Amino acid sequence: MRHQKYRPDIDGVRAIAVLSVLIHHLSEPFLPGGFVGVDIFFVISGFLITSQVHAEAKEGTFSIRQFYKRRINRILPALLTVVAACLAVGVLLLSPADLLLLARSAVYASLGLSNVFFWREYGNYFAGNAREAPLLHTWSLGIEEQFYVIWPLLVLLLIRTRPRLTVIFVAVTTVALIALSEVAAGVFASASYYLLPTRFFELMIGGLLALSIASIRPRSRLQARLGLLAGFLLIGGSLFLLDRTSVFPGINATWPCLGAALLIWAGSGQGSPTRILANRPMIFLGLISYSLYLWHWPIIAFLAYLNHPIRLASGIAVAAFSILAAWLSWKYVEVPMRRSGVQLQFSRVFALRFFMPVVVLFSFLAATTYTKGFAQRFDPRVTELKGMMQARPEEMRRGCHVPTSLYQTPPNPDCRLGSDKAALDGILIGDSYANHYTGMIDVMASAAGLAFMDYTMDACLPILGYQPEGARTYAEKCRLRNEAVYQMIRTNRYRQVILAANWPDASGAGGRLLSSIEAVIGTGATVTVVMSNAMIERAGSCPLRRIMYRTDEDCDAMRPSPPGYFSEIRSRYPQVRFIDPNEVVCQGNKCSPLIGDTLLYRDSGHLNDIGSRLIGQSLLRMGISL
Domains and CATH numbers, the chain: 8-374 (no CATH), 386-621 (3.40.50.1110)
pLDDT at 467: 80
Which residues lie closer than 8 Å to 585 by C-beta, 6 or more apart? 533, 534, 591, 592, 600, 615
CA 204 to chain centre: 23
With residue 74 as reference, give the H or E element that holds it: helix 64-93
Query: What is the H or E stretch that residue 530 is in?
Result: strand 526-530
Provide the pLDDT confidence category of residue 470 given band limits of 50, 70 and 90. low
Strand segments, DSSP code E, in 379-469 are 401-402, 416-418, 426-430, 451-457
What's the whole-number mean pLDDT along residues 67-86?
97
State residue 6's pLDDT score.
85
Neighbours of 227 (CB within 10 A): 22
- Residue 1: pLDDT over 50: no
Q: What pLDDT, on a 0 to 100 scale, did the predictor assign at position 2? A: 47
Number of H helices, E strands in the chain: 27, 12
pLDDT at residue 160 tops 90: no
Q: How high is the pLDDT of residue 475? A: 83
- Rounded mean pLDDT, 58-74: 92
Question: What SS3 class is residue 313?
Answer: helix
Task: Give me the pLDDT at residue 422, please.
Answer: 86
**111: CB partners within 8 A, 6+ apart:** 358
- The pLDDT confidence band at residue 271, using thresholds 50, 70 and 90, is low
In a 3-state reduction of DSSP, which class is residue 68?
A: helix
Q: Where does residue 465 fall: left (phi above 0), alpha (psi -120 to 50 degrees), or beta otherwise? A: left
pTM: 0.91
Amino acid at the residue 201? F
Average pLDDT of the residues in 296-324: 96
- The C-alpha atoms of residue 262 and residue 266 are separated, in whole angstroms, by 6
Q: pLDDT category, 354, cuts 50, 70, 90?
A: very high
